[in-house]
Amino acid sequence: MTSTPAELRVNAARLAARIDALAEVGAIDGTRGCARLALSDEDRAGRDLVVAWMRDLGLAVSIDGIGNVVGTLAGATNEPPVMTGSHIDTVRTGGRYDGNLGVLAGLEIIEVLNEANLTPQRPIAVAFFTNEEGARYSPDMLGSLVYVGGMGVEQAHAIAGIDDTTVGTELARIGYLGTAPLPAAAPHAFVELHVEQGPVLEAEQQTIGAVTGVQGISWTEVTVVGQSNHAGTTPMGLRRDPGLVAFRTGAFIRDLAEEIGAPQVATMGRIELHPNLVNVVPAQATFTIDLRHTNDEVLRDAEQRTLAFLEATAEREQCSVTTRTLARFEPVIFDDDVISLVERTADTLGHSVRRMPSGAGHDAQMLARVCPTGMVFVPSVNGISHNPTEHTDDADLEAGANVLMQVLLELAGGTTEAPR
């Protein structure tokens, strides 16, 4: 006998306890944040903890060749599973909710079903994907990209990180070079719960975001080479200063983003000068440009204007420029039915809800290539993320997890009390 048990609710304390326990791994002293860069020792420790929880919950755990981990609760049928999940790697100054919430809410939902002795019609899978953040290896969302066949596993293994390690070597080192086939079989649907990481829900006093898609992302690494020289004896007119090219470009992209207007954003978040000394005109500047917009045409235009400015500035300074694309994702539009289901479910559960695009990239945008996909957002206090002070109120975590559970059960075709 099949039912969709609308009365089921997550255990908010249990969910919070798992979030807190995982945040202890790689905790940043004196803060609520954590640092678990992808495939680091801290990431391994976090993975080991989550895998142990998966096994305790009776999930069948599989690991693929890019280190994605999927724990599956068997369904009454062998149809493709409904999948949820996210990532557990963090940036160097990460909060405790980004990514982790989506994975641990998935486990909490499994535990609720276990307690109620309910079996979903379709299997329900909870995944965490490798290197979502891209803080150690580019591109970001690497694990989910490989999962859906967007990049070959050999190519992914060869990627070098900011510390000159490679993905393949580090996967093997931490014991997460698995054998599950890649690309993976497409799930029936994918829904990811995530903190908004922006200020919109809080500002509009909404509890749930029904995410309509993800803005396009363009990451470029720029290297400008000039002429190192003495800062005291080189007249301004004879300088070939790659640092200046970087600085002018950093100011330009801010002005450009303001001119284009929202939702255009532009960031120069990383820069290194060489030799980086007070009294030496640098020989080389390496920096990154992060441009995002929901409209790919606007995004391409911003890219072209940035490149034109960069090249003209470098030429005036008699410097050479090379650029490397670290990541380039077109805007993604999620599945209409899933968006509506999220919206309707939130409404049914009595939570305020609004449709909104995601400003950040998420694993869900990769899964959207192979199956109907959506996301559930909950508010981020002050819009802060990628920061140890990242926070979401317990009531919002609970609301998001309950919406996710009902959406997953609906997509799974309900539950049965058939023996597990």
CB 173, min distance to a copy of itself, A:
22
CB atoms closer than 10 angstroms to residue 29: 6
> CB of residue 148 vs a copy of itself: minimum separation in angstroms?
21
Q: Is 233 in the site for a copy of itself (CB under 8 A)?
A: yes
Residues 286-305 that bind a copy of itself (CB under 8 A): 288, 290, 292
Least distance (Å) between residue 379 CB and a copy of itself: 12
The binder of a copy of itself chosen from 1, 279, 350, 419 (CB under 8 A): 279
Q: How far apart are CA 76 and CA 420, in angstroms?
A: 8
Mark the segment that binds a copy of itself (CB under 8 A) among 2-10, 122-130, 178-186, 190-198.
190-198
* Residue placing its CB nearer to a copy of itself in the complex, 363 or 410: 363
Chosen residue from 64, 108, 111, 140 binding a copy of itself by CB under 8 A: 140
Which residues inside 63-82 make contact with a copy of itself, applying CB under 8 A?
none
Closest CA to 19 of 37, 32, 31, 8: 32
Choose which of 215, 345, 373, 415 interacts with a copy of itself (CB under 8 A). Answer: 215
Stretch that binds a copy of itself, among 2-10, 146-154, 274-282, 295-303 (CB under 8 A): 274-282
Residue in 141, 225, 268, 321 binding a copy of itself, rule: CB under 8 A? 268
CB 33 within 8 A of CB 389: yes
Q: How far apart are CA 96 and CA 23, in angstroms?
A: 6
Q: Which residues contact 414 (CB under 8 A, 6 or more apart)?
A: 2, 3, 4, 120, 121
The CA R_g of the chain, rounded to the nearest whole Å, is 23
Contact stretch for a copy of itself (CB under 8 A) within 8-16, 45-53, 166-174, 355-363: 355-363
Given candidates 58, 275, 308, 394, which one binds a copy of itself under the rule CB under 8 A? 275
Q: Does 354 contact a copy of itself by CB under 8 A?
A: no
Asked if 316 touches a copy of itself (CB under 8 A), the answer is no
Identify the residue among 121, 358, 406, 415 touching a copy of itself (CB under 8 A).
358
Any contact of residue 375 with a copy of itself (CB under 8 A)? no
Applying CB under 8 A, does 385 fall inside the site for a copy of itself?
A: yes
Q: What angle do CA 317, 321, 325 make, to 5 degrees?
A: 145
Q: Which of 77, 169, 223, 267 binds a copy of itself (CB under 8 A)?
A: 267
The correct pick among 11, 31, 62, 93 for binding a copy of itself (CB under 8 A) is 93
| 218 contacts a copy of itself (rule: CB under 8 A) | no
- Pick the binder of a copy of itself from 133, 343, 363, 396 (CB under 8 A): 133
Say if residues 306 and 241 touch (Cβ distance below 8 Å).
Answer: no
Nearer to a copy of itself, 53 or 219 (CB): 219
By CB under 8 A, residue 308 contacts a copy of itself: no
The residues, any chain, with a CB within 8 Å of residue 172's CB and separated by 6 or more, are none
Question: Please, which of residues 30-49 interact with a copy of itself by CB under 8 A?
Answer: none
Q: Using alpha carbons, select from 378, 346, 325 the residue that is nearest to residue 192.
A: 378
Q: Is 12 exposed, middle or buried (0-12, 13-18, 19+ CB in 10 A)?
A: middle
Q: Which is nearer to a copy of itself, 182 or 364 (CB)?
A: 364
